[in-house]
C-alpha cells in the first residue's frame, strides 16, 4: 500500500547528507566568523547604514 | 546627452517609488485590518455574513489573509527594500521604468485578488488561493522586481553588501522558488484550475510553501528591514555583525525544512513529520540569535525606549518576533500540536507574529521614513505614542483571547470520561463555549484599527506641514567598490560577490526543499499498491468545486488525526489513499466546524439541504453562515467534461465513457438525489439543476469511497 510504503521510507542517506552539509557549512561559517574574521573590518562595515545623510534618534 | 542625463539621475535616490509603496501599504493595510475585523465579527455572530455570498466568512477569510500578507506587508517590504537598498548600495535603483512596472503591477495583482476572491475564484490553498492568471502575473512582477534589485546590486558603489541585503537576496530567490513550484496547475477555465499535485503530495508542497511564505515573505525581508532601520532609528550600529552572519546562514538553511510541522499527527508519513519537528525546534537558535542582535542594538541607549515612539515600535516588534519564534517551535512538538492544531491557538500565534512583529515593524519604519522623506518632523510624537499603546493593547487582547479560546476548545475536544467516552460529544458545544472570546478578539482588532487611524491622521498632518518630497543626493560609499577587488578572503570576499552569494543562498534553501519534497513527488517509483480509492463522480467533482469556491476549508478539516479523541469523535483516522485524487487537497488547518472526512451518509440528504439553507435549523447554536444561493444557483454541468478530462490526464482513473459523457452522468446522479429530496418534502421542480444537490452529492461521499483495483498496475 502507498501509505505503508511511505511510512517505511526513511531515506536516511539523503537526510544525513543534508544534515551533514548544513552542519559543516554552519561550523565553517561559525569558526570563520568567530576566529578568523577581522574584527576591525566588521566594526567598519556595520557603520554603512549610519554613514549616509540621514541621522536617526538624537540623545 | 543621454550619458549626462544618466549621471544626473544617479545623483539622487528614487524616493518617489518608496513613497508610492508607503502610501499603498497604509491604504491596503486599513482594508486588510477592516476585512479582518469583519471576519472576526462573523465568527462572533453569524448574522454578520449578511446572507451575501461574496461576503461570507469562507470568502472573506482568504481576502483578509491575502490583503494582510501581500498587500499590507508586501507593499511595506517593497517600500523598505527600495529605500534601504539604494542607500546601502550608494546608487539609485537600476531602472525607474522597472520600479514603476513593479509598483503598478503589484497593485493590479492586489486589485485582481480583491475582486476574484470574494467572487469565489480560489484554489483553496492557504496564502496561494489566487487563480492561475494572477499566479502568472505575480511571477512576471516578481521577475521585474528581481531584475531591478539585482542590477542595483551589480551597479552598487559600496564595496560591501550589508547584512540587510543578504536577507533581501534570500527573500527574492526563495519566494520565486516557492511560488513557482506551488502554483503548477492545469487551467480548466479562465479562472479555474487543478493543481498537478494531489492529496499528500499537494499537502506537503502546499505547507512547504505555506510555512515558507511566512519564513521568506514575513520573516527574512523584515529581518533585513530590522538590520537597517533599528540602527538608523537608534543611530547606533547593529550589536554584532558576526552574529548577523551566523543568524543569516543558519536561518535560511533551517527554515525551509520545517513545513511538515503543519501536518503533525495526520496521514503524512512519520519520517516527514519527525523531520519537520526536528528542524522546527532547531529554529529556536537562529531566530533568537536574530532577536537578541536586534534588541541589543539599543545597548547604551535604552532610554530611547522611553522617549522615542519609533524605537518603541521597532523594539516591541522584535520582541514579538522572539515570542512568535519561541511559540512556533513549541507548537511544532507533536504533543503540543495535538492540543493546539485546528484551534484558535494557531490564530493567536499567527496574529502575534503579523500584528506584533510585521505590523509594528512597518509602523516604526513608516514613522521613521515619512518625516525623513518629507524633510520635516513628525507632527505629533504624542499621537505616535498613543498609537503604540492602543495598538499594543489591541494585540494583547487579541492574542490572549485567542490563546484562551484555542486551549479551551482543544481541551474540550480531548476530554474523555472514565467510561472512555467524549465529555463534549457535540462539536457545537465546544464552539459556543468560546464565542464570547470571539467578541473579545473583535475588540482587540478594533483597537488595532483605531491606532492605525491615529497614525494616518498623524502622517497626514506631517506631510501637510512639509515642504514636499526631498530629493536626496547619493552619498559617497564608505569603502568604494573597484572592479578588480581581489584582496578579500573568506566570507568577506563572498559578501562582495553578488552572484556567488545568491547561488549559495539558493543552495541553502534548495537542500532542505529537495530532501523534503522529492521523495514524496516520486512516490510512484518505489510504492507498488494494488488498490486505489474510487474517484469522485462528475457530479461530486462539481460539488467539490462548490465546496472550494465557498471556502469551506477555512472552517472544516478533512483529516482525522491519529489521535484517540479525534477517532472517537469523527471515526477511523484518515488514510493517504482517501485523498489521493484530491486536487487540491482539503485537509484544512482550522476546525471552527467539525471535521468532514467521514461525514458521508451520516445525515440524510434533507438534513444537508436544510443545513445549507439555515444551519441553525439542524444544529442549534451553529455559527455557520446561511447559504441560500446554493438553493437557487444552477450547477455548471457544461464544464464537467473538460474538468474530468483534465483530472484523467493527471492520473485519476476515469473510464473514457465517463469523460465523454461527464455532464450527462452528473445530471443522472443529480436527478436521483433531487427525487429523494422531493420525496422528503422539498418543493422545487428544477432541484436537480441546483448547486445544493451537487454539494450534497459530494458531502455524502466523503469517507465512503471504496478501494478498487489499481488499473495502472495492469499496464
Give the pLDDT of residue B715.
44
Measure A24 CA to nearest chain B CA, in Å: 11
* DSSP line for B338-360: HHHTBSHHHHHHHHIIIIIIIIH
| CB contact (8 A) between residue A38 and residue B492 | yes
Q: Please, which residues 12-71 of chain B have a Cβ atom closer than 8 Å to chain A?
A: none
All residues of chain A having their beta carbon less than 8 Å from the beta carbon of residue B267 are 3
Q: Look at B180-189, B403-412, B435-444, B521-530 and tell me which has the smallest mean pLDDT.
A: B521-530
Give the pLDDT of residue B22.
97
% of chain B exceeding 70 in pLDDT: 94
Q: Which class for B114: exposed (0-12), middle (13-18), buried (19 or more C-beta within 10 A)? A: middle
Q: Are strands B185-189 and B531-533 parallel, antiparallel or unpaired?
A: unpaired
Quote the CA–CA distance of B28 and B456 in Å, as a whole number. Answer: 12
Report whether pLDDT(B610) > 50. yes
Report whether pLDDT(B524) > 90. no
Q: Please, which residues 545-584 of chain B have a Cβ atom closer than 8 Å to chain A?
A: 575-577, 580
Measure B260 CA to nearest chain A CA, in Å: 14
**Grid coordinates in use for B235?**
543611530
Instruction: Give the model confidence (pLDDT) of B452-473 as tens digits.
Output: 999 999 999 999 999 888 888 8
- Say if A35 is an interface residue toward chain B (CB within 8 Å): no
All residues of chain B having their beta carbon less than 8 Å from the beta carbon of residue A44 are 478-479
Mean pLDDT computed over every residue of chain B: 91
Assess contact for B409 and B592: CB atoms under 8 A.
no
Quote the CA–CA distance of B656 and B654 in Å, as a whole number. Answer: 6
- Helix, strand or coil, per DSSP, at residue B487: coil
| CB contact (8 A) between residue B310 and residue A57 | yes
Instruction: Give the model confidence (pLDDT) of B377-430 as tens digits.
Output: 999 999 999 999 999 999 999 999 999 999 999 999 999 999 999 999 999 999
Instruction: Give the model confidence (pLDDT) of B482-507 as tens digits.
Output: 766 556 666 666 666 778 888 888 88
Q: Which of B162, B233, B235, B521 to mutate to test the interface with A (most CBs of A within 10 A)?
A: B235
**B347 vs B280 pLDDT, higher one:** B347
User: Quick count: other Cβ atoms within 10 Å of Cβ B651?
Assistant: 15
All residues of chain A having their beta carbon less than 8 Å from the beta carbon of residue B164 are 49
Question: In the Cβ-directed half-sphere of B651, how many Cα atoms lie within 13 Å?
Answer: 15
Closest residue on chain B to A15 (Cα): B515
| CB contact (8 A) between residue A18 and residue B254 | no
Quote the CA–CA distance of B201 and B269 in Å, as a whole number. Answer: 11
Going along chain B from its start, the domains and CATH numbers come out as 2-481+502-512 (1.20.210.10), 531-714 (1.10.760.10)
Instruction: Give the model confidence (pLDDT) of B134-185 as tens digits.
Output: 999 999 999 999 999 999 999 998 988 999 999 999 999 999 999 999 999 9
Name the residue facing A7 among B235, B270, B492 (closest C-beta): B270
- Say if A32 is an interface residue toward chain B (CB within 8 Å): yes
C-alpha closest to that of B30 among B61, B63, B2, B72: B72
Q: How confident is the model at residue A45 (pLDDT cuts 50, 70, 90)?
A: confident
- Say if B285 is an interface residue toward chain A (CB within 8 Å): no
Closest residue on chain A to B303 (Cα): A59
Give the pLDDT of residue B526.
45
Measure A55 CA to nearest chain B CA, in Å: 7
| CB contact (8 A) between residue A29 and residue B232 | no
Report whether pLDDT(B129) > 60. yes
Amino acid at each position: 500500500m502507498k501509505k505503508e510504503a511511505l511510512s517505511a521510507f526513511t531515506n536516511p542517506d539523503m537526510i544525513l547528507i543534508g544534515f551533514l552539509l548544513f552542519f559543516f557549512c554552519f561550523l565553517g561559517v561559525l569558526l570563520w566568523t568567530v576566529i578568523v574574521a577581522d574584527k576591525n573590518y566588521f566594526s567598519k562595515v556595520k557603520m554603512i547604514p549610519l554613514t549616509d545623510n540621514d541621522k536617526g534618534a538624537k540623545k | 546627452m543621454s550619458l549626462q542625463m544618466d549621471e544626473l539621475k544617479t545623483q539622487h535616490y528614487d524616493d518617489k517609488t518608496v513613497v508610492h509603496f508607503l502610501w499603498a501599504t497604509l491604504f491596503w493595510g486599513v482594508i486588510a485590518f477592516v476585512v479582518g475585523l469583519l471576519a472576526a465579527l462573523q465568527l462572533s455572530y453569524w448574522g454578520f455574513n449578511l446572507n451575501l455570498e461574496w461576503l461570507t466568512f469562507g470568502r472573506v477569510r482568504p481576502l483578509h489573509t491575502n490583503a494582510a500578507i501581500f498587500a499590507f506587508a508586501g507593499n511595506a517590504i517593497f517600500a523598505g527594500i527600495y529605500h534601504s537598498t539604494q542607500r546601502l548600495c550608494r546608487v539609485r535603483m537600476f531602472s525607474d521604468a522597472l520600479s514603476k512596472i513593479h509598483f503598478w503591477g503589484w497593485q493590479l495583482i492586489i486589485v485582481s485578488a480583491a475582486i476574484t476572491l470574494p467572487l469565489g475564484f480560489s484554489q483553496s490553498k492557504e496564502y496561494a488561493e489566487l487563480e492561475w492568471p494572477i499566479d502568472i502575473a505575480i511571477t512576471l512582477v516578481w521577475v521585474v522586481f528581481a531584475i531591478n534589485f539585482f542590477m542595483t546590486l551589480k551597479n552598487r558603489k559600496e564595496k560591501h553588501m550589508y547584512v540587510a541585503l543578504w536577507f533581501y537576496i534570500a527573500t527574492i530567490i526563495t519566494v520565486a522558488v516557492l511560488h513557482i513550484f506551488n502554483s503548477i496547475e492545469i487551467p480548466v477555465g479562465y479562472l479555474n484550475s487543478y493543481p498537478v499535485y494531489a492529496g499528500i503530495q499537494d499537502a506537503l508542497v502546499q505547507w512547504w510553501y505555506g510555512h515558507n511564505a511566512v519564513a521568506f515573505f514575513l520573516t527574512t525581508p523584515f529581518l533585513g528591514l530590522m538590520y537597517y532601520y533599528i540602527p538608523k532609528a537608534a543611530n547606533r550600529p547593529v550589536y554584532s555583525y558576526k552574529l548577523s552572519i551566523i543568524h543569516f546562514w543558519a536561518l535560511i538553511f533551517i527554515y525551509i525544512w520545517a513545513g511538515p510541522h503543519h501536518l503533525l499527527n495526520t496521514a503524512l508519513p512519520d519520517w516527514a513529520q519527525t523531520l519537520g519537528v526536528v528542524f522546527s525546534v532547531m529554529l529556536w537558535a537562529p531566530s533568537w540569535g536574530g532577536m537578541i542582535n536586534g534588541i541589543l542594538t539599543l545597548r547604551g541607549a535604552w532610554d530611547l525606549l522611553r522617549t522615542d515612539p519609533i524605537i518603541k515600535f521597532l523594539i516591541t516588534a522584535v520582541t514579538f518576533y522572539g515570542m512568535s519564534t519561541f511559540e512556533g517551535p513549541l507548537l511544532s512538538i507533536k504533543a503540543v500540536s495535538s492540543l493546539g492544531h485546528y484551534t484558535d491557538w494557531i490564530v493567536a500565534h499567527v496574529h502575534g507574529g503579523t500584528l506584533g512583529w510585521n505590523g509594528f515593524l512597518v509602523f516604526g519604519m513608516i514613522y521613521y521614513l515619512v518625516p525623513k522623506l518629507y524633510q520635516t518632523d513628525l507632527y505629533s510624537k504624542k499621537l505616535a505614542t498613543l498609537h503604540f499603546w492602543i495598538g499594543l493593547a489591541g494585540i494583547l487582547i487579541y492574542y490572549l483571547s485567542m490563546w484562551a479560546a484555542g486551549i479551551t476548545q482543544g481541551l474540550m475536544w480531548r476530554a474523555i470520561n472514565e467510561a472512555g467516552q467524549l465529555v463534549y460529544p457535540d462539536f457545537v458545544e465546544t464552539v459556543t463555549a468560546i464565542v464570547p472570546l470571539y467578541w473579545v478578539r473583535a475588540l482587540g482588532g478594533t483597537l488595532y484599527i483605531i491606532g492605525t487611524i491615529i497614525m494616518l491622521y498623524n502622517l497626514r498632518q506631517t506631510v501637510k506641514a512639509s515642504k514636499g518630497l526631498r530629493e536626496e543626493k547619493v552619498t559617497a560609499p564608505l569603502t568604494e567598490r573597484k572592479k578588480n577587488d581581489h584582496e578579500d578572503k573568506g566570507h568577506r570576499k563572498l559578501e562582495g560577490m553578488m552572484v556567488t552569494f545568491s547561488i549559495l543562498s539558493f543552495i541553502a534553501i534548495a537542500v532542505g526543499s529537495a530532501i523534503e519534497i522529492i521523495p514524496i513527488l516520486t512516490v510512484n517509483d518505489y510504492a507498488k499498491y494494488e488498490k486505489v480509492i474510487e474517484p469522485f463522480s462528475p457530479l461530486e467533482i462539481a460539488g467539490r468545486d462548490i465546496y472550494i469556491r465557498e471556502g469551506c476549508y477555512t472552517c472544516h478539516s478533512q483529516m482525522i488525526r491519529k489521535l484517540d479523541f479525534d477517532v472517537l469523535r469523527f471515526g477511523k483516522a484518515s488514510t493517504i489513499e482517501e485523498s489521493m485524487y484530491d486536487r487540491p487537497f482539503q485537509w484544512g488547518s482550522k476546525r471552527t466546524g467539525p471535521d468532514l472526512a467521514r461525514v458521508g451518509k451520516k445525515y440524510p440528504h434533507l438534513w444537508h439541504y436544510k443545513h445549507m439553507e439555515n444551519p441553525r435549523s439542524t444544529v442549534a447554536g451553529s455559527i455557520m453562515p446561511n447559504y441560500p444561493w446554493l438553493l437557487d444557483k444552477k450547477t455548471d454541468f457544461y464544464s464537467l467534461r473538460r474538468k474530468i478530462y483534465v483530472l484523467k490526464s493527471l492520473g485519476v482513473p476515469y473510464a473514457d465513457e465517463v469523460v465523454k459523457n461527464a455532464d450527462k452522468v452528473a445530471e443522472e446522479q443529480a436527478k436521483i438525489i433531487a427525487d429523494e429530496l422531493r420525496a422528503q418534502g422539498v418543493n422545487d421542480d428544477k432541484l436537480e439543476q441546483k448547486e445544493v444537490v451537487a454539494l450534497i452529492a459530494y458531502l455524502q461521499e466523503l469517507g465512503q469511497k471504496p478501494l478498487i483495483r489499481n488499473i495502472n498496475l495492469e499496464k
